[in-house]
Chain A
Amino acid sequence: MLLLAPTALALGALTVYPGAWVLWLSLQHRIPIFGVARFAGLDNFTFLSVDARFWSAAHTTAVFTVASVALEVVLGVGAALAIHTQRRGRAVALSFLLLAWAMPAVVAAKLFEWLYHPVAGLINVALGRHALNWLGDPAIALAAVTLADVWRTMPFVAILCYARLLAIPPDLYEAAQVDGAGRLATLTRITLPLLGRILLLAVLFRTLDALRAFDIMFVLTGGGPANTTETLTVYAYRALFQTLQLGFGSALSVVVFALVMVVAWAYLRLLRAGSVAA
């Protein structure tokens, strides 16, 4: 019991206390700099339930999360397999992957800002007459932001998978070969199932990150055009730090927190079920 005390204290001070405080703030109309501080009950949440901007942000967050994580998994596994089969230059390939991953999100966003530049950007120059309005067209802005995020975070999935691939004993493949399994069968019957658990873990991390995505859209589009790239955390940031509505902003944060908790819980159940089955 005594041994648990430091952990309990640290968790209490760093997580439980601020968490409870945010929950308490979310039940108030509170704008300290203008001296507004009164209990609001569930007012903030009632407003959110009919707030079109909130639902748009929730929708954007969901689309962004599903699309970016799915792409990261497909590309990440692909990259890991490619490097694994590569005979030479693995170290070089890995360092290129790590370079993207090590880049701070804001730097990556600035890089893509130039790539997406409507007049002088590399992409539009290459497209010539078919140039697109990447960050100003509500139909494609979210896709553009998602691609930028996938570029930066796909290596995370790739490297985790690559590490798992290295740990698969070569005898398994030899046995499969002896049994006459083709390449496709080896991939679907051996490699992918063995990647399953590590992939689930990677997806868990990536999903939790994507649900809280902020910097890439904040720098690239500021949430525009027409709020089509505004995620829940960008909305919460605007409420908390720009317009200083601490109560309303906290209500938004509480929703994001609940969302992340539910998703994390679902994944962990899945992981546990997987480990029991295996």
Chain B
Amino acid sequence: MSAWGYGATRLIGVLVLLAGCAGSPGEGEPVTLVFKYARILGNADPLPTLLREFEAQHPGVRVKGEAMPWTSDDQHQFYVINLEGRSPGFDVLMLDCIWTPEFARAGWLLDLTPYLQPGELAPFFPSTVASATYDHRVWALPWNMNVGLLFYRTDLLAKYGLQPPDTYEALVEQARLIRGRERDPALDGYLWQGKQYEGLVVNVLEALWANGAPLITDDGAVFPEPARAADALRFLRGLITSGVSPTWTTAADEELSRRAFGDGHAIFLRNWPYARDLFESEGSAVRDKVAFTAIPGRARGEPGAGSTGGAHLGVSRRSRHPELAVALARHLTSERAQRAIALGAALSPSRQALYHDPELVRRNPAMPRLHALALAGRPRPITPYYLLVSATVQPEFSAALVGVKPPERAIDDARARLGHFLGALR
């Protein structure tokens, strides 16, 4: 599109948007917007209040929040069936950031670029904006933010005069030292997620990045550094065989590892920010004994970076009230709404300023620290084929972790399979 065309569309978009915000849509014709989302865990679900606020600001508009299936797999399946079926029955949808390029490419999402004002996305984390962008267009507004963190036991590290590790090698050293001195057979070293599922891909990606080995590059090359990738897998397998991580790591998901660490049975844990709230809650065995730091790097590799995740809000392209739907997405991702959500639930905001908001910092003094780590986080590969890539590499990564395949062969097999499937897409 020419610069003029682009500018003109944007202008029209803004006008349409203003019209949508200002006036009620036709007298006596109530409009119902449907918002699909997964229920928010936490003390109090702040969403109903936020939806009522929107209704108050837009007379004649009713917003219906509809809860979705529980697991990410089911949600994805729900969207695919309903959006491909051309009668979605919803206007605004919550989506896992990894689906955005896929849904955009499939033509299911409204292109939000013309609606955006210059600089409107600047307050958000660049990595969340990147994961909402595909083909130089913006398809969703970042709603909340997730980043991989390394939790550690402050009491145990302090007891032996240790600083939190910044490389995996240091982490292994410290785990050995502490376990050797503590002589507690129930105390594990390092817990992470090794079950065959999406979480495994996230954990392996962090190990790959620390080793300077991308999974897929922007131009579509798969495992361009196979030797380094295999080395990362070998290292992870070594954590299990050497006993630094328990054998059941190969069956562990977020909650399994979070509970074991929360019961005081481990020194280190890789998990998401939500875990902190639970560790600091009343009755927790590790209350005031936990802190977090960045995901480690490798001694002769790159500094560590946590994988980012989170949810976006998109607008269905078949919505009959696109302007209102965009306004609702904007309302729910606003600073005010995100503050309310962060106060009521264990979700981290996608807007950076909130990490220094006095009210939020009082509730969670670790917010500024979390901000720095989230800022340094890396998104998973941004591609419309992400689920295909993930589903293809999961069994190979798992095979290397449980030791039924040498890491080199796991990487080779993953490359060959991805080559075949991605080839069929062209």
Contacts and interface: CB of A to CB of B under 8 A. Distances in A.
A242 B106 contact: no
9 contacts: A53-B395, A119-B263, A133-B250, A133-B251, A136-B250, A224-B398, A226-B196, A238-B391, A248-B424
A143 B394 CA distance: 21
Interface in B347-404: 384, 387-388, 391-392, 394-395, 398-399, 401-402, 404
Given A225-B401, A230-B395, A242-B73, A136 B248 contact: yes
A226 B399 contact: yes
B102 interface: yes
B387 A242 contact: yes
A93 interface: no
A33 B84 contact: yes
A251 to B, nearest CB: 12
Contact of B398 (A36, A117, A226): A226
Given A36-B425, A133-B250, A242 B260 contact: no
Contacts of B399: 225-227
Contacts, number: 110
A13 to B, nearest CB: 19
Contacts of B387: 242-244
A227 B420 CA distance: 19
Interface in A220-274: 221-228, 230, 238, 241-245, 248
Considering residues B84, B196, B256, which has the most beta carbons from chain A within 10 angstroms of its beta carbon? B196
Considering residues B73, B392, B424, which has the most beta carbons from chain A within 10 angstroms of its beta carbon? B424
A224 B196 contact: yes
Interface residues of B, number: 44
Contacts of A34: 105-106, 384, 425
B195 A136 contact: yes
A55 to B, nearest CB: 13
Nearest to A30: B424
Contacts of B395: 53, 223-224, 226-227, 230
Contact of B425 (A31, A47, A135): A31
Contact of A118 (B196, B251, B405): B251
- Binding site of A, secondary structure by majority: helix, strand, loop or mixed? loop
Given A53-B395, A226-B398, A243-B387, A32 B424 contact: no
Contacts of B76: 242
A221 B413 CA distance: 22
Nearest to A47: B420
B398 to A, nearest CB: 5
Contact of A133 (B105, B247, B424): B247
Interface string B224-260: 0000000000000000000000111111100010011
A136 B84 CA distance: 36
A138 interface: yes
B24 to A, nearest CB: 36
Nearest to B417: A53
B80 interface: yes
A40 B404 CA distance: 34
Contacts of B274: none
B296 interface: no
A118 B77 contact: no
Contacts of A64: none
B402 A136 contact: yes
Contacts of A47: 420
Contacts of A136: 194-195, 247-252, 402
Nearest to A124: B248
B248 A119 contact: yes
Nearest to A222: B197
A245 B417 CA distance: 14
Contact of A138 (B256, B259, B260, B404): B404
A190 B249 CA distance: 52
A29 interface: yes
B398 A137 contact: no
B421 interface: yes
Identify the 9 closest CB pairs spanning chains A and B, nearest first: A224-B196, A136-B251, A118-B248, A136-B250, A33-B106, A226-B399, A227-B395, A243-B388, A135-B251
B339 interface: no
B415 interface: no
Given A31-B425, A119-B256, A244-B387, 13 more contacts: A53-B417, A118-B252, A136-B402, A137-B402, A138-B404, A224-B195, A224-B250, A225-B195, A226-B398, A226-B402, A227-B399, A241-B80, A245-B421
Contacts of A224: 195-197, 250, 394-395, 398
Considering residues B249, B250, B251, which has the most beta carbons from chain A within 10 angstroms of its beta carbon? B251
A127 B84 CA distance: 50
A52 interface: yes
B384 to A, nearest CB: 7
B109 to A, nearest CB: 12
Contacts of B263: 119
A18 to B, nearest CB: 15
Given A31-B425, A221-B196, A226-B196, A118 B401 contact: no
